[in-house]
Amino acid sequence: MSGGRIPILLDVDTGVDDAMAIALALRLDAVELVGVTTVAGNVTLEHTTENTRRVLAWLGAPEIPVARGMSRPLVRPLRTAAWVHGDTGLGGFAPPPSPVPLSPVTAPEFMVRTARERPGEVVFVCVGPLTNLAVALGLEPDLPRLVRRVVIMGGAFTVPGNVTPAAEFNVYVDPESAAAVARSALPITFIGLDVTHQVALLRTEWERLGAATDPAARLVRGVGQHSFARRGIDQMHLHDPLAVAVAACPNLVRTRATGVAIDTGLGARAGETMLVERPGLPTHDVALEVDAAAFGTLFRSALRLEVVAG
Ligand code: RIB
Ligand code: CA
């Protein structure tokens, strides 16, 4: 670790909350963002990749490597969530293009090389469908030994899903990849809707960001347009920022050590994530409680979202 900071590789489908997660990873002193890999999910791979590059440049970090990943799930057709994130995926926010070209390697290859170069050091934070990570596991079966931890925003273990009553979006889009990951010996912490539905940005906060000057605060204002101005919702769940925060501060959540099974069928429960105890099934940490107040303070101070006077 360089200077005691935690090296993080962020795997994203940027997306509104992914953009805020990137901002948080850049702003936390405890985090060294070593690279960002992109995957299709909230919107197509072209948009998630372009959005990621533009967000990094907007936040003053265009030099952070961005590696383009899988354009569709392992088995199923891609299903996006443009109705949540807007047609381009940034909720109507349109930062300028990045001056820095894409990494010359694919996302799975970037994951493998990063883990090999810094064995036992790097934390992967995966906040989109798990297609890149599943392919990386296939490229390097020793990945579980090479990574320090994998924090996954995904699943709904004791609460209903957000795409169907059974399934959370990231797992729903690519259940086969999620199942391969859950069956592996990767040291995983799952951050599911059980805890992410307890942390949100409120409309009243967003409305006060109109006069913000900090680039991260202006990004939050910009990506919130689709949700708050067009869809008229009262709060936006901070799914992906919570995963980044837990990578830096694991004590924000309380977890249960258990096996995880994924429904990879074609029925109504497809993408369901279940807590199971089964001989031979690796044990992972599943977050079931969160210190929402502590996370809220961390997130708001890092992105300078303090209430703008007036
Ligand atoms: O279910 C929430 C997750 O799906 C978040 O990662 C959001 O960005 C979408 O990818
Ligand atoms: Ca995401």
pTM higher than 0.85: yes
Which atom of ligand 1 is found nearest the CA of 42? 10
* Active-site residue, 47 included: no
Tell me what pLDDT residue 180 has.
98
Task: Please name the helix (run of DSSP H) or strand (run of DSSP E) that holds residue 6, with its range, or none.
Answer: strand 6-12
Strand order in the sheet with 253-262: 66-68, 31-38, 6-12, 123-126, 149-153, 188-191, 284-290, 253-262, 273-276
Span from the CA of 240 to the centroid of ligand 2 (angstroms): 6
Mutational test site, ligand 1, from 14, 127, 164, 172, max ligand atoms within 8 Å of CB? 127
pLDDT at 2 over 90: no
Lowest model confidence (mean pLDDT) among 52-61, 77-86, 156-165, 256-265: 77-86
- Residues surrounding ion ligand 2 at CB below 5 Å: 13, 15, 18, 127-128, 240
> Tokens 């807590």, residue?
275
Band of residue 309 on the pLDDT scale cut at 50, 70, 90: very low
Which atom of ligand 1 is found nearest the CA of 239? 5
Distance CA 159, CA 292 (A): 17
228, 220 contact by CB (below 8 A): no
- CA distance readout (Å), 269 to 165, 259, 272: 8, 18, 6
Structure tokens at 132: 């890149």
Task: Identify the residues whose C-beta falls under 6 Å from ligand 1.
Answer: 13, 15, 17-18, 41-42, 127-128, 153, 162, 168-170, 239-240
Structure tokens at 235: 């709060």
Interior angle at CA 242, CA 57 and CA 84, nearest 5: 70
**Residue from 197, 237, 239, 284 carrying the catalytic annotation:** 239
Which atom of ligand 1 is found nearest the CA of 128? 10
Domains of the chain, each with CATH number or no CATH: 2-309 (3.90.245.10)
pLDDT at 197 over 80: yes
Neighbours of 160 (CB within 10 A): 12
Over 242-294, what HEC string results? HHHHHHHCHHHEEEEEEEEEECCCCCCCCCEEEEECCCCCCCEEEEEEECHHH
Span from the CA of 220 to the centroid of ligand 1 (angstroms): 16
Report which bound ligand comes closest to the CA of 10. 2
Phi-psi region of 174 (alpha: psi -120 to 50; beta: other; left: phi over 0): beta
